Chain A
Amino acid sequence: MSHQEAIGRNAHKIDPNNIPAEPARATAEGKHKHLGIWIFLGSETVLFASLFGTYIALKNSTAGGPTTQELYGLELVFLMTLLLLTSSLTSVYAIYHMKNNNFKKMQLWMGITGLLGLAFLGCEIYEFAHYITDYGFTFRSSAFGSAFYALVGFHGGHVIFGLSWLIVLMARNAKRGLDTYNAPKYNTFALYWHFIDVVWVFIFTVVYLMGMVG
């Protein structure tokens, strides 16, 4: 319980000869955060489920504008899927190094995760710009347009939030190093990032693959 924890930074130092099996859950606060982020992701699931439901209901309401088959191209989406899935893997590497108390390698892999996420975001912006300039397909052109940009854009917004989170996290701890106070912060980020990845798998399937077949 909390009373056994001493206070301050020194109390959170990790002894290199006696690394806790789960540095992210070594403190009471770490345990709380670990459960808390899982519960939060449960509510995020309903958030995206509502957007998926809206999208499925409206995906054929094109109002004379471009349809899903005319718009989507699987090459770019394949690249985006590759980027985001890989970024999930690299975040696993980062957490692996956290458990070995190797702060430098953890930061490195978290950095790679961020770069992959950034590349994904670049592709998404390119995709949206392509739809808008070449097809005149916007948020306002049809109910399908609104639903598409709302669902995929909400996911993109989550990626932006995740990247900002990661940047602040890496910057704040660059000098501090790893201890049991900030390990839970990396842990919650990694779980959030996996969730973003899982949502993309569903977007890939429900929006793009199902969109190709009509």
Chain B
Amino acid sequence: MSTTTQKRSLGTVIWDYMTTVDHKKVGVLYLLFGGIFFLMAGLQALIIRTQLMTPENDFVSAGLYNELITMHGTNMLFLAAMPLFFGLMNYVMPLQIGARDLAFPFLNGLGVWLFIFGGLLMNSSWFFGGAPDAGWTNYAPLSVQSPGHGINFYVLGLQLAGAGTIMTGINFIATIVLMRGPGMTYMRMPLFTWTTLVTSILILFAFPAFTIALFLMQFDRMFDSAFFDIALGGNSVIWQHLFWIMGHPEVYILVLPAFGIFSEVIPTFSKKRLFGYTAMVFATFLIAFLGFMVWAHHMFTVGLGPVANALFAIGTMAIAVPTGIKIFNWLLTMWGGSIKITTPMLYALGFIPSFTIGGMTGVMLGSTVADYQFHDTYFVVAHFHYVIIGGSVFGILAAVHYWWPLMFNRMLSEKLGKLEFWLFFSGFHLTFFIQHFLGLMGMPRRYWVFLENQELDLGNLISTLGSYLMGLAVIVLLINVVTSYFKGPAPRDPWDGRSLEWSVPNPTPYYNFKYTPLTRGLDPLWIEKMEGDGKIKPAEPLHDIHMPHGSILPFLISLGFTIASFGFIYQLDGPHGRILIYIGMAFAIGCMIVRSLKDDYGYNIPKEELEKEDD
């Protein structure tokens, strides 16, 4: 298996991925489709910036502009950033804790296909009469009254993807709690595993609120209910609350995994253990806890009253404390270390000042009185791009370069990687730094044009040019990925790593670990390198390894729900919509019953076969 690579036809490979329940292949699927949605959302951003390059530009129409900003935001947050993190977690987290798969491999397959179909469903709206156009926040009553089917695609696409997200969150929690290898106590877990756990807890409690919000929206738009209909006593602020009860924790869902990644990258390239490990773990929990308490700071101007505003303002500013703990711990990890500048390390170094700027403007926005000035201006746009790009996207790019040899058995070129970093880093600051000032000068967000000679011309031009640099950086990354394929296999453990994932052979065997690995402390591989022979000790003698069977059912169940979703979108237009609902639901439920009726005991890899493999 590991030494002889068989040539397989493309059809076999595709079928393999369609039926896989292997956490590594599911992770690759998340990365692939998350990457595709990332490219699409990035292109949409470039069109937005091109429209805003000059005053009163008519590159796109006002309606199309609304669709573009909506799809850019929704794609980036729900279908690009989150799935990219999910891909990394899926691949790396079980390897970091010494597990052979997730707790529920079948559910993992279902989660990824629900995400893929949900994302494709929402993005197919472009071909079915227009994309959603009420912004990624989709506020009622604007969204309820938006004509056409665009918002329906938003509702059902995110409903499917959200269901998959919750499933995967449950899966990660159960895996980390139950499947840590011998010696892998909680306080020996790598920080990336910790943030995966905490992020999953956030998902678990945040996303159901959004599920309900989407249901209410669906009922109002498709079944004439009155949740957001003022004439019948409805209340559109309910949407805002439910949306932000998910939406604010979502910000931490996106940034905590990046914190985890940097907490892996910085110690590896500083050759020091993470400074303040315990404080890092508790800061992660504190951020998550506070993250649930502050959703209404997105609603300061709604008129919730001074008491509510003051409480949410204090809560918001309090988050700066655990975040500050993290920033100082990263700095102190580097202090006195022997630092090696690689592409992942460059992203980590770029992240610290960039994210701190985003955090600072966050504290400014958290001040209620000042927020009345900042609200809905480009200051807000600049702020959240500083945290999402400066935090999450830098984290994703660092992780892609860092774990690429592990995941794809190829090294990405360091030369191209560094070029990519400098293009992306300078482009990012060029695009968004100036937007703080545009916002302070009064430029409102989400407007498709601005007027000439209001001192906004130069700033917008600079911003647009910066966004092109970021586009270039992504092209460099793609070239890097393609050219790396033609290079030879990557060496094992190329970065001189510290945690268990670097102890497995390259490419990772489908059963992960031949021997159950024994963890003797924090940074287990580093301990073995310093005190042992550099090899992880087996915790027990070689045994048969129990593996789950692959299945096409996750794909089919998701397909059924997608067909039904199309039915819901079109059910007001006549009977064909309702027919689609029945067909899709019957198909999905039928597949679920098949899953229930069949006994699936999995299979064993015999000990004798394992003995032939390399360690």
Contact A50–B209 (Cβ < 8 Å):
yes
A2 to B245, CA, bound (A): 39
Q: Which A72-90 residues have a C-beta within 8 angstroms of B?
A: none
Of B28-36, B224-232, B355-363, B444-452, the one with at least 4 CB within 8 A of chain A: B224-232
Contact B205–A40 (Cβ < 8 Å):
no
Of B343-351, B376-384, B475-483, B599-607, the one with at least 4 CB within 8 A of chain A: B599-607
A44 to B599, CA, bound (A): 28
Chain A residue with minimal CB distance to B171? A36
In the complex, A139 has a CB within 8 A of chain B: yes
Of B1-9, B461-469, B542-550, the one with at least 4 CB within 8 A of chain A: B542-550
B166 contact set on A, CB distance < 8 A: 43
Contact A7–B601 (Cβ < 8 Å):
yes
- What sequence of 0s and 1s flags, for each residue 145-178 of chain B, a beta carbon within 8 Å of any chain A beta carbon? 0000000000000000000001001110110011
Contact A50–B212 (Cβ < 8 Å):
yes
In the complex, B370 has a CB within 8 A of chain A: no
In the complex, A32 has a CB within 8 A of chain B: yes
Contact B207–A43 (Cβ < 8 Å):
yes
Q: Which of A7, A49, A142 contacts B226 (CB 8 A)?
A: A142
A140 contact set on B, CB distance < 8 A: 223-226
A44 contact set on B, CB distance < 8 A: 208
**Majority DSSP secondary structure for residues of B touching A:** helix
Given contacts A43-B166, A139-B223, A140-B225, contact A3 B546 (CB under 8 A): yes
In the complex, B307 has a CB within 8 A of chain A: no
Contact B603–A143 (Cβ < 8 Å):
no
Q: Which of B205, B212, B225 contacts A139 (CB 8 A)?
A: B225
Contact A2–B546 (Cβ < 8 Å):
yes
In the complex, B368 has a CB within 8 A of chain A: no
> Which bracket fits the contact residues of B?
35 or more
CB distance from A163 to the nearest CB of B (A): 14
Q: Which B542-564 residues have a C-beta within 8 angstroms of A?
A: 543-546
Interface centre among A4, A40, A43, A145 (most CB of B within 10 A): A43
Q: Which of B169, B170, B219, B596 contacts A150 (CB 8 A)?
A: B219
Q: Which B214-246 residues have a C-beta within 8 angstroms of A?
A: 215-216, 219-220, 223-227, 229, 231-235, 238, 241-242, 245
Contact B238–A57 (Cβ < 8 Å):
yes
Contact A150–B545 (Cβ < 8 Å):
no
In the complex, B204 has a CB within 8 A of chain A: yes
Q: Which of A2, A47, A168, A181 contacts B211 (CB 8 A)?
A: A47
Q: Which A31-65 residues have a C-beta within 8 angstroms of B?
A: 31-32, 35-36, 39-40, 42-44, 46-47, 49-51, 53-54, 57-58, 60-63
Given contacts A36-B103, A172-B597, contact A62 B216 (CB under 8 A): no
CB distance from B114 to the nearest CB of A (A): 15
In the complex, A24 has a CB within 8 A of chain B: no
Chain B residue with minimal CB distance to A59? B233
Contact A144–B233 (Cβ < 8 Å):
yes
CB distance from B97 to the nearest CB of A (A): 13
Contact A146–B226 (Cβ < 8 Å):
yes
A53 to B235, CA, bound (A): 12
Q: Which of B206, B223, B232 contacts A61 (CB 8 A)?
A: B232
Contact B227–A3 (Cβ < 8 Å):
no
A49 to B242, CA, bound (A): 11
Q: Which of A8, A9, A39 contacts B173 (CB 8 A)?
A: A39
Interface centre among A8, A32, A63, A142 (most CB of B within 10 A): A32
CB distance from B474 to the nearest CB of A (A): 35
Contact B599–A63 (Cβ < 8 Å):
no
Contact B593–A40 (Cβ < 8 Å):
no
Contact A3–B545 (Cβ < 8 Å):
yes
- What sequence of 0s and 1s flags, for each residue 142-181 of chain A, a beta carbon within 8 Å of any chain B beta carbon? 1111110010000000000000000011001000100001
A15 contact set on B, CB distance < 8 A: none
In the complex, A1 has a CB within 8 A of chain B: yes
In the complex, B431 has a CB within 8 A of chain A: no
Contact B234–A58 (Cβ < 8 Å):
yes
In the complex, B258 has a CB within 8 A of chain A: no
Contact A57–B235 (Cβ < 8 Å):
yes
In the complex, B397 has a CB within 8 A of chain A: no
B177 contact set on A, CB distance < 8 A: 35
Contact B227–A54 (Cβ < 8 Å):
yes
A51 contact set on B, CB distance < 8 A: 212
In the complex, B516 has a CB within 8 A of chain A: yes
In the complex, A134 has a CB within 8 A of chain B: no
A61 to B546, CA, bound (A): 57
Given contacts A3-B544, A63-B226, A181-B599, contact A39 B170 (CB under 8 A): yes
CB distance from A79 to the nearest CB of B (A): 28
In the complex, B104 has a CB within 8 A of chain A: yes
CB distance from A202 to the nearest CB of B (A): 15
Interface centre among B169, B227, B231, B245 (most CB of A within 10 A): B227
In the complex, B213 has a CB within 8 A of chain A: yes
Contact B178–A32 (Cβ < 8 Å):
yes
B224 contact set on A, CB distance < 8 A: 139-140
A146 to B227, CA, bound (A): 6
Contact B174–A39 (Cβ < 8 Å):
yes
Contact A46–B226 (Cβ < 8 Å):
no
B207 contact set on A, CB distance < 8 A: 43
Contact A50–B219 (Cβ < 8 Å):
no
A62 to B220, CA, bound (A): 16
CB distance from A64 to the nearest CB of B (A): 9
A142 contact set on B, CB distance < 8 A: 226, 232-233
Chain B residue with minimal CB distance to A151? B212
CB distance from B571 to the nearest CB of A (A): 15
A172 to B232, CA, bound (A): 47
Contact B205–A42 (Cβ < 8 Å):
yes
- What sequence of 0s and 1s flags, for each residue 112-143 of chain A, a beta carbon within 8 Å of any chain B beta carbon? 00000000000000000000000000011111
Contact A143–B233 (Cβ < 8 Å):
yes
Chain A residue with minimal CB distance to B177? A35
CB distance from A177 to the nearest CB of B (A): 13
Contact B233–A36 (Cβ < 8 Å):
no
Q: Which of B103, B232, B597 contacts A32 (CB 8 A)?
A: B103
A53 contact set on B, CB distance < 8 A: 238, 241-242
B604 contact set on A, CB distance < 8 A: 3, 6-7
A31 to B175, CA, bound (A): 11
Interface centre among B232, B593, B601 (most CB of A within 10 A): B232
CB distance from B123 to the nearest CB of A (A): 26
Contact A143–B234 (Cβ < 8 Å):
yes
Contact B601–A47 (Cβ < 8 Å):
no
Contact A54–B216 (Cβ < 8 Å):
yes
Contact A47–B219 (Cβ < 8 Å):
no
A145 contact set on B, CB distance < 8 A: 225-226
A181 to B600, CA, bound (A): 9
Q: Which of B204, B238, B544, B545 contacts A43 (CB 8 A)?
A: B204
Contact B233–A61 (Cβ < 8 Å):
yes
Contact A46–B235 (Cβ < 8 Å):
no
B546 contact set on A, CB distance < 8 A: 2-3, 5, 7
Other A-B pairs beyond A43-B169, A57-B235, A62-B233, 6, CB < 8 Å: A2-B546, A9-B601, A58-B234, A140-B226, A144-B233, A146-B227
A-B contacts, 13 of them at CB < 8 A, read A6-B604, A7-B601, A8-B601, A35-B174, A36-B174, A50-B242, A61-B235, A139-B219, A140-B226, A143-B233, A143-B234, A146-B234, A172-B596
Q: Which 7 A-B pairs have the closest CB atoms?
A: A61-B233, A3-B543, A146-B225, A143-B233, A50-B212, A47-B208, A46-B208
